Amino acid sequence: MTTLAHQPPQIIRANGIDICYEIFGDANAEPLLLIMGLGAQMIHWDDEFCRQLAARGFRVIRFDNRDIGKSSRLSGGKRLTALELLKLRFLKIPVAAPYKLADMARDTIGLMDALGIRTAHLVGASMGGMIAQEVAITFPERVRSLTSIMSTTGNPKIPGPTREATAVLIAPPPKSKEEYFVRFGQTWKVLRNGSFPEDEALDPERARRTFERGLNPEGVGRQLRAILASGSRKERLRGVKAPTLVIHGTIDPLVHPEGGKDTAVSIPGAKLVMIEGMGHALPIPMWPQIIDAIDKHAHGAAAKAA
């Protein structure tokens, strides 16, 4: 059995900030960037998930978005209030934000520049899917293929999260390590929206790693503001040229399944894969289906481009 190349986490300067990244797989393989979601560190792309993708012939690069994990922490932006959310929903008054998703898209391009990568396959989950969409809209020449997972277009007509998922999203930060560990398990139970014993057994270790890399509740608040302040991409997505795959769970409690369908309808030629029984997470039993879909899509796009 061959051992895949692995470059441990490093920090690089990109788009004026420090970005922590890690690489799995052969240096000559096709680059595939994994972009994580709101408040989620790069390690939420599980190590083994990354290794399995790398084994399919990709140079897999995961990284901490700005304001999370080991990447630069920014400042500004107060905690979101219920009043602001009501104004946004009913009066369409945009939320103020220190930065937007377009800035996070430039972080992604900055990282590619710093690593000497001209074009890459982009795979984004949740907010990461929104960032990947923004890159495909603004920097089409840099994207080999786009995979948007459990994400949406920002279209205000899409149904909102369930009450339980909303509560998870706006809950005040835990006050102690013990409370954080309990909350971590509770949060993922809500987001997975079902029983996944393999993942639940790993939750304490995942919580420990996340906690030790450092929490930044204010940063999560700024990321949420970035999403809400960025508005809808629906019309602009019609101009996306990259071959696009949309993956969404049928029981996603946070980003309604209609969000995935809307993304697929908005991007010309996009392929939609709905995964039965998947919530707002990447549970271990569903990895084979997800990894197969990404593999076929990205390598298929590369073959067409050749």
| Residue pLDDT, tens place only, 187-213 | 999 999 999 999 999 999 999 999 999
Average pLDDT, stretch 101-112? 98
Q: Which residues pair with 61 in a beta bridge?
A: 23, 33
Confidence of residue 77 (pLDDT cuts 50, 70, 90): confident
Share of the chain above pLDDT 70, in %: 94
Q: What is the separation of C-alpha 112 from the centre of its chain, rounded to a whole number of angstroms?
A: 17
| Residue pLDDT, tens place only, 12-43 | 999 999 999 999 999 999 999 999 999 999 99
What H or E segment, with its residue span, contains residue 110?
helix 101-114
- Check pLDDT > 80 for residue 2: no
Apex 101 CA angle, 95 and 106, nearest 5:
145
| Residue pLDDT, tens place only, 259-274 | 999 999 999 999 999 9
Taking the alpha carbons of 109, 9, 172, 156 in that order, is the dihedral positive or negative?
positive
Q: What is the pLDDT of residue 265?
A: 98
- The structural domains of the chain, with segments of one domain joined by +, span 6-161+217-305
- Check pLDDT > 90 for residue 104: yes
Long-range (24+ apart) CB contacts under 8 A made by 161-167 are 161/253, 161/254, 161/255, 161/256, 162/253, 162/254, 164/190, 164/253, 165/190, 165/191, 165/253, 165/254, 165/280
Q: Domain 6-161+217-305 falls in which CATH fold?
A: Rossmann fold (3.40.50)
| Residue pLDDT, tens place only, 37-67 | 999 999 999 999 999 999 999 999 999 999 9
